[in-house]
C-alpha cells in the first residue's frame, strides 16, 4: 500500500503533464480552441435557459385552463425560445468549424514536427528504436490526439458548463428538489472516479503495445524472405501472438472500464428522474411548487446527469490521448544532434585536396563500452585506403565517425588540416560519396535514382556511368529504359540494385569516396566489371574501402588492419604479407577457404 500511492501520483502527474503539453505546444491554435470553447459554453448556457421558459409556458397554460390561456404570453415565450435555440445552433456550428480547423492544423503541425525531428536525431536513437514504433507515433498516436481534440475537449467544456449551470438553475428553482437530484447522482460520480483511476494504466499500455506490434510487423515484412528461408514462420507467429495477446488484454480491460461509464451513469440518471418525480409530486400536492417546476426539473436532471456521462467518456478518451501525447512528445523532446549554428569554417568541395588524419580517436556507443580505443592514421590525398579486420573490429565505426554520424569521445579527425569538429555535418557529408552494402532506392525512375539530390548531373553523365559498370545494357532492356519507374521493393536483383547505387556514386564529384562492402551483393563476373569501374571511380579521390574479400583490396595504397578497435598493422599488401602477421593470417585463411571450395 505504501508504494501504491506514489505510483498513482506519478501516473496522475504524467497525465497532467501530457495534456498540458498539448495545450502549450501551439499558442495560436490554443487561442482558437478557446474561441470554440467559449462558443460551446455560451450555447450550453442558452440551452439551460430553455427549461426556465418552458416552466413559464407550462404555468401560463395551467393557469389558463380555468380562466383562459394567455396566447400572447405563450407566443412571446415561444418565440424567445426559438431565438435562444437558433443562436445556440449558430454557436455550435462556429464551435464545430473552428475545432475542425484547429484539429487538422494541429495534427499537420505535429506530423511536420515529427518529420523534421527525424532529421535532427542522432543514429543512436534509431539503434534503440524500431522503425514500426516510430511510425506508430507519427500515425496512430497523432490520430488519437486529433480525434480527442476534435471531440473530447469540447465535450468537456460543454459538460462542465451544463453541470455547473444546471446546478445553479436547480437551486434557483427549488433547493429541496436540487438536493434530491444531487444526492441521487453522488454514487455515480464516485464510481466514475474509481473506474478512471483504475483504467489509466491500461490505456497507456494499449498505446505502447500498438507501437510494439507495428514495429514487429514492419520487421517481419522487411525480412520476409529471410524468415521463409530459415523456416522462422512459427517463431515469428509466436512472437506476434504474444504481443497481440497483450494488446488484446489491455485493450479489453481499457474498453471494459470505459464501457462501464455509460450504463452506470444511465442508471443514476434514471434513478434521479424517479427521485425528482416522487419528491416533486409530494411538493406539488402540498402546494409548495407548481407543475411547471416539475417539468423544468425533468429537463434539469437530464442536463445535470448527462454531463457526468459525457465527462466520463471524455476522460476515458483523454487517457488514451495522454498516453499518445506522452509518446509523441517523448519523441519530439528526444536528445538531438548538437547545434552547429556557431560553426563558421567551410571546405569547398572543389578546393579540398583530400588529406585526412585521425589523431588518437576514442569512441564508444556506450560510455562504459569503448570500441575505438586509440586510433591514429595519416592518409595522403588521392590514396586508396582499405580497412580490414574481423567482424566487430570497428571498421564501419571508423567510417561513421569520419562522416560525423557519431561524435567522437576524444581525439580529433582532420580534413586538409581542419578539424571536422569545426565543420557542419552538411559540409562534411557534401565532401563524401558512399556506396554501402545495404542498397537504398526510392520510388522513381532509374534516372532520378542515379541523379538523386543533384540536379547538375546530366543524362549523358548518367548513361556514361552505367556503361562503365555494364549496367547500360540491362537498363535498355527495361520497358522505358532509364525512365522506368522502380522502388526499393521492386523486382530487381540485389546485384542490380547495388550497381544502380554505384552509378549514383560515379556521377558525384565529391573528393572522398567510401565503399563499405560495395561488391558483396554482386556475382563474380559482375564484380570484375565493378572492380574496374571502382578503379576509375577512385582515381583522383581519397578512397576508403571496407571489404571482407581481401582479394579486392590488393591494389590499395594503404591497408589498415584493425582488431578490437585499434590498428594493429598498416602498410600495402605485399609488405603486410611479408610481415606474416595478423593480415597475412586473415588473407591466407580466405585463400585456403577459396581453394577448399574449388576442390
For the segment 115-130, what is each residue's pLDDT rounded down to a tens digit? Answer: 888 888 887 787 777 7
Sequence-distant (≥ 6) Cβ neighbours of residue 442 within 8 angstroms: 449, 452, 487, 488
Q: pTM of the prediction? A: 0.60
391 and 545 Cβ atoms separated by less than 8 Å:
no
Does the domain formed by 10-332 have CATH 3.40.50.300? no
- What 3-state DSSP class applies to 489? coil
Domain 354-431+512-599: CATH architecture, name and number where available: 3-Layer(aba) Sandwich (3.40)
> CA-CA distance, 47 to 36, in Å (whole number)?
17
Segment 529-553 shows an average pLDDT of: 74
Three-class secondary structure assignment of 16-84 = HHHHHHHHHCCHHHHHHHHHHHHHHHHHHHHHHHHHHHHHHHHHHHHHHHHHCCCHHHHHHHHHHHHHH
pLDDT in tens, 364-396: 877 777 778 777 888 888 888 888 888 777 777
10-332 matches 354-431+512-599 in fold: no
C-alpha distances (whole Å) from 595 to each of 493, 525, 549, 591, 598 are 28, 18, 14, 6, 5
Count CA within 13 A, CB hemisphere, residue 341: 1
pLDDT more than 70, % of the chain: 83
Take residue 420 and report the three cell numbers written for it: 571536422
pLDDT in tens, 45-82: 777 766 666 556 555 555 554 455 556 766 776 777 77
Confidence band (pLDDT; 50, 70, 90) for 189? low
- 439-509: CATH class: alpha beta
Confidence band (pLDDT; 50, 70, 90) for 498? confident
Confidence band (pLDDT; 50, 70, 90) for 594? very low
Taking the domains of the chain in order of start, what are their residue ranges? 10-332, 354-431+512-599, 439-509
| pLDDT score recorded for residue 315 | 73
Q: Over 50: is that where the pLDDT of 544 sits?
A: yes
484 and 476 Cβ atoms separated by less than 8 Å:
no
Amino acid at each position: 500500500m505504501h508504494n501504491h500511492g506514489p505510483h498513482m501520483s506519478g501516473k496522475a502527474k504524467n497525465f497532467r503533464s501530457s495534456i498540458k503539453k498539448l495545450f502549450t505546444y501551439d499558442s495560436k491554435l490554443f487561442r482558437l480552441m478557446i474561441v470554440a470553447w467559449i462558443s460551446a459554453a455560451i450555447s450550453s448556457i442558452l440551452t439551460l435557459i430553455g427549461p426556465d421558459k418552458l416552466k413559464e409556458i407550462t404555468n401560463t397554460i395551467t393557469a389558463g385552463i380555468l380562466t383562459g390561456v394567455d396566447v400572447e404570453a405563450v407566443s412571446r415565450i415561444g418565440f424567445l425560445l426559438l431565438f435562444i435555440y437558433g443562436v445556440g445552433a449558430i454557436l455550435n456550428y462556429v464551435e464545430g468549424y473552428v475545432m475542425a480547423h484547429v484539429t487538422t492544423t494541429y495534427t499537420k503541425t505535429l506530423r511536420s514536427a515529427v518529420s523534421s525531428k527525424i532529421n535532427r536525431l542522432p543514429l543512436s536513437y534509431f539503434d534503440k528504436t524500431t522503425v514500426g514504433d516510430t511510425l506508430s507515433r507519427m500515425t496512430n498516436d497523432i490520430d488519437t490526439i486529433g480525434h480527442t481534440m476534435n471531440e473530447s475537449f469540447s465535450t468537456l467544456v460543454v459538460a462542465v458548463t451544463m453541470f455547473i449551470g444546471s446546478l445553479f438553475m436547480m437551486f434557483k428553482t427549488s433547493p429541496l428538489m436540487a438536493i434530491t437530484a444531487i444526492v441521487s447522482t453522488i454514487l455515480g460520480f464516485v464510481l466514475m472516479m474509481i473506474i478512471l483511476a483504475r483504467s489509466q494504466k491500461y490505456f497507456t499500455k494499449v498505446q505502447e503495445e500498438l507501437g510494439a506490434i507495428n514495429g514487429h510487423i514492419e520487421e517481419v515484412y522487411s525480412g520476409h524472405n529471410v524468415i521463409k528461408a530459415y523456416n522462422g514462420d512459427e517463431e515469428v507467429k509466436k512472437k506476434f501472438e504474444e504481443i497481440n495477446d497483450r494488446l488484446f488484454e489491455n485493450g479489453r480491460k481499457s474498453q471494459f472500464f470505459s464501457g462501464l461509464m455509460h450504463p452506470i451513469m444511465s442508471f443514476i440518471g434514471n434513478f434521479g428522474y424517479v427521485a425528482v418525480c416522487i419528491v416533486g409530486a409530494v411538493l406539488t400536492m402540498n402546494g409548495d411548487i407548481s407543475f411547471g417546476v416539475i417539468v423544468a426539473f425533468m429537463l434539469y436532471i437530464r442536463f445535470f446527469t448527462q454531463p457526468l456521462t459525457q465527462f466520463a467518456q471524455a476522460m476515458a478518451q483523454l487517457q488514451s490521448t495522454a498516453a499518445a501525447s506522452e509518446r509523441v512528445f517523448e519523441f519530439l523532446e528526444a536528445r538531438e544532434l548538437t547545434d552547429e549554428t556557431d560553426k563558421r569554417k567551410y571546405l569547398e568541395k572543389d578546393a579540398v585536396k583530400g588529406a585526412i588524419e585521425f589523431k588518437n580517436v576514442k569512441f564508444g556507443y556506450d560510455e562504459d563500452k569503448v570500441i575505438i580505443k586509440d586510433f591514429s592514421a595519416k592518409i595522403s590525398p588521392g590514396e586508396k585506403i582499405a580497412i580490414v579486420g574481423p567482424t566487430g573490429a570497428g571498421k564501419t565505426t571508423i567510417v561513421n565517425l569520419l562522416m560525423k554520424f557519431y561524435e567522437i569521445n576524444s581525439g580529433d579527425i582532420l580534413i586538409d588540416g581542419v578539424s571536422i569538429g569545426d565543420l557542419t555535418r552538411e559540409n562534411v557529408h557534401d565532401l563524401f560519396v558512399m556506396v554501402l552494402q545495404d542498397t537504398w532506392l526510392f520510388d522513381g525512375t532509374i534516372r532520378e535514382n542515379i541523379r538523386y539530390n543533384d540536379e547538375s548531373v546530366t543524362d549523358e553523365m548518367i548513361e556514361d556511368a552505367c556503361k562503365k559498370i555494364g549496367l547500360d545494357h540491362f537498363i535498355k532492356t527495361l520497358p522505358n529504359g532509364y525512365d522506368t519507374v522502380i522502388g526499393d521493393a521492386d523486382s530487381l536483383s540485389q546485384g542490380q540494385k547495388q550497381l544502380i547505387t554505384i552509378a549514383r556514386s560515379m556521377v558525384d564529384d565529391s573528393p572522398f569516396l567510401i565503399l563499405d562492402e560495395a561488391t558483396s551483393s554482386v556475382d563474380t563476373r559482375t564484380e570484375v566489371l565493378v572492380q574496374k569501374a571502382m578503379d576509375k571511380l577512385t582515381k583522383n579521390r581519397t578512397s576508403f574501402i571496407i571489404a571482407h574479400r581481401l582479394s579486392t583490396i590488393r591494389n590499395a595504397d594503404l591497408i589498415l588492419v584493425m582488431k578490437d578497435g585499434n590498428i594493429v598493422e598498416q602498410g600495402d599488401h605485399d609488405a603486410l604479407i611479408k610481415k606474416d602477421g595478423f593480415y597475412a593470417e586473415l588473407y591466407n585463411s580466405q585463400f585456403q577457404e577459396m581453394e577448399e571450395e574449388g576442390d
